[in-house]
Amino acid sequence: MAVVGRAVLVVALLTTLFGITAALYGARHGRRDWVDAGRRSVYALAVILTVAFALLEVAFIDNDFAFNTVANDSSLTTPLFYRAAAMWGSQEGSLLLWVWLLSLWSSLAVFLTRNRLREVVPYAVSVLLGFGAFFTSLLVFFATPFGTTTPAPTNGVGLDPLLRNPSMMIHPPMLYSGYTFFTIPFAFAVGALITRRVDAEWIQVARRFALASWLFLGVGILLGARWAYSEIGWGGYWGWDAVENAALMPWLISTAFLHSIMIQEKRGMLKIWNASLVLAASTLAILGTFLVRSGILSSIHAFGASTLGIPFVVLIAVMVIGSIYLVVSRRDVLRSEHRLDSLFSREAAFMLNNVLLVGLTFVIFWGTFFPLISEVATGTQSVVGTPWFDRYTVPLALMLVLLSGIGPVIPWRRATLAKARRNFALPLVAAAAMLIASFTVLPISSSVPTVALFCCVAFVFASVGQEFWRGWRARRATSGDSPPRALISMVRRNRRRYGGYIVHVGLAVLFVGVAASSTFSRTQFVNLQKGQSTVVGGYKMTNVRPTAAIVTDPTSTGALLTLGVIMRVTHDGRYVTTLHPVAQYYDDETGGEGPVGSLIGGDSVSTLSLHSSFRRDISAAIDAPDIQSELQGEINHANTLVLDERSEGAVAQTKLSYYLLAAIAGGYVRHPPAAPLKLASSPLVMWLWLGALVVFAGGLIAIWPTAGVSGRVRARYLARVAHELGRA
Amino acid sequence: MTVVLGILAITVLLVFIIWFVSGPLRHPASAAPTQNSQQRALEAARDAKYAEIRDTELDYRTGKLSEEDFRTLDRQLRAEAVEILRSLDKLR
């Protein structure tokens, strides 16, 4: 199997090399047949890598420990669900996932453009296959997922317990889909610049692919944040970690691109800027991939030090230098067709939005790479933390939220003062009302940035609400539709506009969650004996009783021992919820701790118990007690008892080990030490998740394919334009 | 036995890939005809212009443009659409 896997990867590499050559030859000599052979190479690559992916998946599911990746990232006690996802817990497996997704999305892009952008596609195919060749080469020469050991070990090390979370199945594939999707707008931008075809057709294609990558990467980031929030070891939903930042940067740049490409589409302006943005977004996506894999920056998400750094640096250098060369050498076709008519126009608002988004990206880039920059400058690595990021990102984020409310109410080209006064009245009143409420009704006046954000959010809600109301009223007047039908047809006929507005509202809601939860969360680290209570943010939390379970892990992650506490939560004497935080202990596959000690000698993980509501999240986590040292005497005694029964055989010994572990756990429950707890009360966290869902719903509406202009509408415009033509 | 099966599987995969990828080279006539690229670009520009006309109309109906501004802008956009249609006609 391993030999077949290695051979399949070599075939994949040869296919990419052939495809690149065929597509370029076809483009240079006008040979459609060679271009089509290149295009088919993309589909073939997807088939070949699907075979490779399936081979490795089968090895994981079958516990084939002859494969080094399986032995390092799975074990007999790893549940099937996590064995299926364990592949991307390793450097090699995740690289295979990366290039497999790249091949799938590339195939989709090549298929969707089969009858479009005839001159551009051959170069785009070459670039996509170039990425395929790069990553396949890494798998063939640097990090093969099909490496083997003979004789095969009888068991593996097991998947890192921190990765045993249902999100493991979906978060990495979504994040990688986002990263790999970014190569598509990059490839088509390179093709368009080489062939000097930065026209309306390219804009259509680039915008759609950029939106898809924005959507995928956004969902991937959200799933990661949700996972980090539920797992104590990851440090909350956002920790300004290098790898988190690396995913955010291309997302921000593509957000800027999605706005500024509209200026190019409508006014023929900002062509150099747009080409630069789309190329930069993809380069940042590869930079993010590099950060995860090279181990150059310390991150809890990274795979650690590896030999992949230099190939990635070469790839990034080629992308940066090539992009600069293309933009500079094609500046004649990238010249703007118009100038900005007025500083008070939607174009100007979009430009400001771009400046802010790029500024935000620069701040994050600087903070992320500061350890390297400081090492080069001073010889010692310095790290910037959350306060540093907050100092610069909060004002920029505030301005962005405000702009997302201003943009929808001003027209393209030029706004008049009279109209502006009318359109800004309601949003300004809403913001003023929120300001008053902040100092009277809402308990947020202690934080000026939060008050400012809430006012901006009120402004956005009012401006977008006003837009929906007026659009709906106009639609009803012209079509005579029923109210719900008018709303649906209004959105359906203007998906980009109203999808975008929904995204703005979603972001505003998301920021409310972020601001409130990061400013007004209350956290306590406390040791509570059975029956003791403490109050966190007005909520009384009582340690009711300890719990212990062996083998029957309630979260099905394969933990052999689970210790926890039942916590009762009340507010003003009223029952709110019962929480059950647990610490899970995993086995030590090496067996070095003795027959009983090894059952719990591996890593331990604390899982948050969460009560989520629209107003507040109440959570409790138990810091995994170090039972290896606390119960050392009992475990040593149990080990001796099991080893004394050697004559009874391995099965009897294993049974006895579990019985003794149960006895130790029972003793722990009868005489529990004070539970080390992290208790928190965080307001409006659910708004963050709901806001993100609204953002993605808006994105889906905006990306949903329209049937072009409908037949009836097209006929109407054709008639109008024909009338003009007759007069001209 | 496993090795033989492995070699067989790889050979089958390789043959299939070569057959599939070289299809257009063996049958050049089967390559799908595509429209003139300039025509496609103009059609995309035309659709974008129609969308812009609709956007402007919606801006007017939602109170962002005065009637005078709307008339001027609409006339300008339609003139641009006419130019695109003329260019398309020349190509056909």
d(CA A712, CA A719): 11
Of A413, A470, A717, the CB nearest to B73: A413
Q: Which of A172, A319, A179 minimizes the C-alpha distance to A247?
A: A179
Which tens digits make up the pLDDT trace of A713-726? 556 666 666 665 55
Are the beta carbons of B47 and A708 closer than 8 angstroms? yes
CA dist., res. A441 & res. A627, Å (int): 48
**Comparison of pLDDT for B48 and A727, the residue scoring more:** B48
Chain B hits for A714, Cβ within 8 Å: 50
Tokens 């170090």 found at: A626
Q: Which among A36, A416, A471 is the nearest to B24, CB-wise? A: A36
pLDDT values of chain B reduced to their tens digit, one per residue, 92 residues: 677 888 898 899 999 999 999 999 888 765 555 557 788 888 888 988 888 898 898 889 888 888 888 998 899 889 989 989 998 888 87
Q: Which chain B residues are closer than 8 Å to A423 by Cβ?
A: 63-64
Q: Which residue among B14, B69, B86 places its CB closest to the CB of A11? A: B14
Average pLDDT over residues A226-241: 80
The pLDDT tens digits for A262-274 are: 999 888 888 999 9
Nearest-by-CA chain A residue for B59: A411
Q: How far is B70 from chain A (nearest CA, A)?
A: 10
Task: Give the model's pLDDT for residue A79.
Answer: 86
Tokens 């690229």 map to which residue?
B37
Cβ atoms of A217 and A247 within 8 Å: the answer is yes
- Give me the residue from A15, A43, A199 closest to B41, CB to CB: A199
**Three-class DSSP labels, A564-593:** EEEEEEEECCEEEEEECCEEEECCCCCCCC
The four Cα atoms A41, A42, A46, A52 give a dihedral, to 10 degrees, of 50
Q: In this complex, which of A8, A43, A724 lies closest to B82 when CB atoms are compared?
A: A724
pLDDT in tens, A166-183: 888 888 999 999 999 999
What phi and psi values does residue A148 have, to the nearest 5 degrees? Answer: -130, 165
Chain A's closest residue to B40, CA to CA, is A201
pLDDT tens, A141-158?
998 999 888 888 888 888
Q: Say whether A115 and B34 touch across the interface (CB within 8 A).
A: yes
The domain locations on chain A are 1-164, 530-673
Q: Are A638 and A550 in contact (CB under 8 A)?
A: no
Residue A304, pLDDT score: 60
Nearest-CA residue of chain B relative to A42?
B21
Shortest CA gap B61–chain A (Å)? 6
| Number of residues that this document lists for chain B | 92
Which residues of A are less than 8 Å from B35 in CB distance? 115
Q: Is B15 on the interface with A (CB under 8 A)?
A: no
Of B21, B12, B19, whose CA–CA distance to A7 is shortest?
A: B12
Q: pLDDT digits over A407-429, tens only?
A: 999 988 888 888 889 999 999 99
Residue pair A173/A101 in contact (Cβ under 8 Å)? The answer is: yes
**Contact call for residues A254 and A281 (beta carbons, < 8 A):** yes
Q: Is the pLDDT assigned to residue A728 strictly greater than 50?
A: no
Contacts of B10 in chain A (CB under 8 A): 4, 7-8, 11
Order of strands, sheet of A609-612, starting from the edge strand that comes earlier in the sequence:
A522-528, A675-683, A616-622, A609-612
Asked whether residue A443 carries a pLDDT value surpassing 70, the answer given is: yes
Mean pLDDT of A374-387: 84
More confident residue, A545 or A307: A545
B71 touches chain A (CB under 8 A): no
Residues of B in contact with A468 (CB under 8 A): none
**Residue A458 near residue A403, CB atoms below 8 Å:** no
pLDDT in tens, A447-493: 899 999 999 999 999 999 999 999 999 999 888 889 999 999 999 98
- Multiple choice CATH, A1-164, 1.10.3470, 1.20.120, 3.50.30, 2.30.29: 1.20.120
Please tell me which of the candidates A1, A15, A411 has its beta carbon nearest to residue B59.
A411
Tokens matching residue A173? 């594939």
State the burial class of residue A84 (Cβ atoms within 10 Å of its Cβ: 0-12, 13-18, 19+): middle
A593-608: per-residue pLDDT in tens? 677 777 777 778 888 8
| Dihedral in degrees, nearest 10, Cα atoms A355, A361, A363, A368 | -170
Provide CB contacts within 8 A for A651, sequence distance 6+.
Answer: none
Token pair for A383: 């790290």
Are A201 and B41 in contact (CB < 8 Å)? yes
Cα–Cα dist A227/A608, whole Å: 11
Instruction: Please enumerate in sequence order all residues whose Cβ is within 8 A of that of B62, keeping only pairs 6 or more positions apart, or say none.
Output: A467, A470, A471, A474
| pLDDT higher than threshold 90 for residue A406 | yes
Residues A709, B50: contact at Cβ < 8 Å?
yes
* pLDDT at residue A58 greater than cutoff 80: yes
**Per-residue pLDDT tens digits for A557-594:** 778 888 899 999 999 999 999 999 998 888 876 666 67
* Interface contact flag, B25 A33, Cβ < 8 Å: yes
Cα(A617)–Cα(A521) distance, rounded to whole angstroms?
9
Is residue A542 classed as helix, strand or coil in its secondary structure?
A: strand
**3-state class (DSSP) for residue A727:** helix
Please, how many CA atoms are within 13 Å of residue A4, restricted to the half-sphere of its CB? 22
Say how far apart CA A310 and CA A143 lie, in whole Å: 13
Helix H, strand E, coil C: the string for B29-67 is HHCCCCCCHHHHHHHHHHHHHHHHHHHHHHHHHCCCCCH
Confidence of residue A234 (pLDDT cuts 50, 70, 90): low
Tell if the CB–CB gap between A422 and B61 is shorter than 8 Å. no
Q: What is the distance between the alpha carbons of residues A229 and A237, in angstroms, rounded to a whole number?
A: 4
CA distance A676 to A703: 48
| Residue A185 pLDDT level (bands cut at 50, 70, 90) | very high
- Out of A15, A115, A418, whose CB is closest to B17? A15
Give the pLDDT score at A558.
78
Separation of alpha carbons A383 and A524, rounded Å: 26
| Set of chain B residues whose Cβ sits within 8 Å of the Cβ of A37 | 21-25
Q: How many angstroms away from the CA of B52 is the closest CA of chain A?
A: 7
User: Across the interface, do A470 and B50 touch by the CB < 8 Å criterion?
Assistant: no
DSSP A368-381: HHHHHHHHHHHSS-
Banded pLDDT at A232 (limits 50, 70, 90): low
Residue B91 touches chain A, beta carbons under 8 Å = no
ipTM: 0.84
